Amino acid sequence: MSTLAGRVALVTGASQGIGRACALALAEAGATVALCARNEVKLAEVADEINGAASRAAEAAGEMDDAAAICGGAASAGVTEPFAGSAHIFALDLSSEESIQACARAVIAKLGKVDILVNNAGITRDTLTLRMKRKDWDDVLATNLTGAFLMTQAVMGSMLKARWGRIINITSVVGETGQAGQANYAASKAGLIGLTRSLARELASRTITVNAVAPGYIETAMTAILTDAQRTAMTSQIPLARAGTDREVAAAVAFLASEEAGFITGHTLDVNGGMYMG
C-alpha cells in the first residue's frame, strides 16, 4: 500500500548510506523524493534505482491488469500496489546557506511543496579535543547542526501552508552518550535533539511533527574506516551483538513520516540494538 502517495519528501545526504536507504524506503511507500547532496553522479544512480523500480513495478501491474481483462476478471483486484514513488535530484552543499536556500527553492518550484524533510547529511572530523582545530569544530557544527536548522527553516513555510508536515532529524547515539575523540560530532548531534524538541513545540499546532532517529553502530561508508579491533569493541557494547543496517534506520524514518505516527512528536527513536537505553 502506498501510504505516502501524494507526499513530497526531501532527503539530505541521499547519495549513499542512511540517506540513500531513507530515500528508497520513502519512495517504496509512495512518496516523490527529492534527493539532495553534493555528489550528483551518485544521486543520479539512486534516482535511477528508484525510478527504474517504479517503472518495472508499473509494467508488471499493467501486465496483471491485461491478464485479468483477458480472463474476464477484475483488474488488479486485491493486488498489492506497485512501488509507486519517484525521485528527482538536486545539488546541495549543507555548509553553504546560499546552496541550502537554492536547493529548497528548486525542490518547491519543481515538485510544488515539501511534506517530509529528512535532515540526514553529516560529516565527521574526529580527533581528541586537545588537538582539535577550530575549523574541525566549525565545519562539523556548520554542516550537521546549522545546515539542518537552515534547511528546516527553508522548507517550513511549505508545511505551514499545508498545515501538515513531518521533520525527521538523523542524530546519533553519541549525541546521547558522548564519545571520546568526537566532541564536535557529539555536540552537533546532541544539538539536533534539542532542535527537534524545540521545533516540535513550535509546530505542533499546525499538525507538523518533529522527531529524531538516533542510530547506533550502523554499517555505512562512514563506519567502513574502522579497524577490526574497533568493530569488535563496538559490537561488544551492543546487547543484540551486531551492527545495524541502513535499511533498519530507514524503516524507523518511514514510520515517523507516516500518518500512523501522527501522535508522536518531540521524540528520539533509538535504533541501536540496545547500545544505549535512555
State the catalytic residue, choosing from 15, 94, 148, 185.
185
Residue 229 belongs to some domain of the structure: yes
Q: How many domains does the chain have?
A: 1
Is residue 80 very low, low, confident or very high in pLDDT (cuts 50, 70, 90)? very low
Cβ-contact 268, 171 below 8 angstroms: yes
For residue 72, the model assigns a pLDDT of 59
As a dihedral over the C-alpha atoms of residue 247, residue 252, residue 255, residue 257, rounded to 10 degrees, the angle is -100
172 three-state secondary structure: coil
Residue 169 belongs to what domain range? 8-271
- The mean pLDDT value for 144-171 works out to 98
Closest CA to 169 of 214, 234, 217: 214
Structural domain includes residue 31:
yes
Place of cell 513495478: 57
| In the predicted structure, residue 174 carries a pLDDT above the cut 60 | yes
- Which CATH number does the domain housing residue 166 bear? 3.40.50.720
Distance CA 21, CA 215 (A): 13
| CA dihedral for 60, 66, 72, 76, sign (positive or negative) | positive
Q: What is the mean pLDDT of the chain?
A: 91
276 is catalytic: no
Distance CA 92, CA 120 (A): 12
What pLDDT is stored for residue 79 in this prediction? 40
pLDDT at 60: 53
Mind listing the pLDDT tens digit for each residue in 204-229?
A: 999 999 999 999 999 887 677 778 88
Of the pLDDT bands very low, low, confident and very high (cuts 50, 70, 90), residue 57 is: low
